Chain A
Amino acid sequence: MKKLLSIVLAIAMVFSLSVMAFADELNTGKTSGEAVVKTSTLKEDGHTSAENYTVTYPAETTIAWEKESTDIEYTVQAQLTWDHQLKLDVASADNKMSSDNQDDYTLDYTLTGDTSIQDGPVIAEGTTKTLNIGIPAENWAKVPVDEYKDTLTFTSQLVSA
């Protein structure tokens, strides 16, 4: 049994050796042949897609009291398959900043600029997009001095080109 097992293992080891596969032979009857080199869309591990994208945005932006216009920049990079694009939406639930100290007053604002983009399959690294927070003077005047805040949600998805 041991001898049989050792023979089986030896055969298995030989078959496991990585040997370059030769497909064709040229000889007096055939003096030229072709070999095609083709890329996969998967990485070397064989199952991870080569598609990738990154959206980088500030975790927090502080706005000075009574500042009427504030830009927020974010960057986008994407390398997708030929039939995909990156769709990115930025939104607030209600465009109102609220206070943790009281519920009676909210600071209304507008969110404009690159709030919705769709591009690809390639978006160059370092591509910058800009959002704008607009708070008119009259809105500042309506609320007590306090810390007001709101959350912007960035939502990304891959869509067909």
Chain B
Amino acid sequence: MKKIISLVLAVLMISAICVPVFAAASPTDITTATSGTAVVKVDESSLDAAEWYVVQIPADKDIAWGTESVDMNYKVASQLAEGKTLTVTVTDSDSNKMTDQNGGDDTIAFTPTGFAANTFEAVNGVGDSATEVTSWANADPAVTLTIAKEAWEGIAVSVYQTTLTYTVAVA
């Protein structure tokens, strides 16, 4: 039995040996010349389809009453054509204020950081594609909302809310 198995495995191993096949696009016979060339190049028509980028933005976040700093940063991975850039801009829904969701007039003001257009180079992070990212580039400066201690005082205890919109552009 062992001899049969070893025989079968040997046959399989021999079958699996890969032998590269060499061929010229326009076959060139080397007769009087002693060398020839074959050009291998990337199909330019496939370049646009090969570009990709992913910008991961944070989930909705509930913050405890009295929180003074909120991290809302995003991260980027991309592989674009040379010379292209990726820009991410963040805006908020109400002029840097959180509004009372129970109809009151009070608001909570915050100071944003990292909202301004942030431009990244063509290649960021590491990954084979948009679905196979293994390393990310974090935005710098990071997106944060800073809320002064005083902003929490003198207002009704309620649910205050703002919506951040993250927008990507490639140029």
A22 on the B face (CB < 8 A): yes
**Does A82 contact B157, Cβ atoms closer than 8 Å?**
yes
Q: Which of A33, A46, A125 has the most CB of B within 10 A?
A: A33
Number of A-B contacts (CB under 8 A): 149
A101 on the B face (CB < 8 A): no
**Interface, chain A (partner B; CB < 8 A):** 20-28, 31-44, 46, 49-51, 79-83, 121-122, 124-125
Known A33-B165, A37-B161; contact A79-B63, beta-carbon cutoff 8 A: no
Q: In the assembled complex, which residues on chain B have CB atoms less than 8 Å from the CB atom of A79?
A: 153-157
List residues of B (153-170) whose CB comes within 8 Å of A's CBs.
153-170
- Chain B: CB-nearest residue to A44: B64
**Interface, chain B (partner A; CB < 8 A):** 51-67, 70-75, 98, 100-104, 106, 108, 130, 145, 153-170
**Does A122 contact B67, Cβ atoms closer than 8 Å?**
no
| Bound CA–CA A43/B53 (angstroms) | 39
Known A27-B55, A34-B163; contact A39-B108, beta-carbon cutoff 8 A: yes
Contact of B98 among A37, A80, A122 (CB under 8 A): A37
Q: In the assembled complex, which residues on chain A have CB atoms less than 8 Å from the CB atom of B104?
A: 82
**Does B67 contact A28, Cβ atoms closer than 8 Å?**
no
**Does B57 contact A35, Cβ atoms closer than 8 Å?**
yes
User: What are 8 A-B pairs at a CB distance below 8 A?
Assistant: A22-B75, A25-B55, A33-B166, A35-B163, A38-B61, A38-B161, A42-B65, A50-B65
Q: In the assembled complex, which residues on chain A have CB atoms less than 8 Å from the CB atom of B130?
A: 25, 27
Closest chain-A Cβ to B150's Cβ sits at a distance in Å of 12
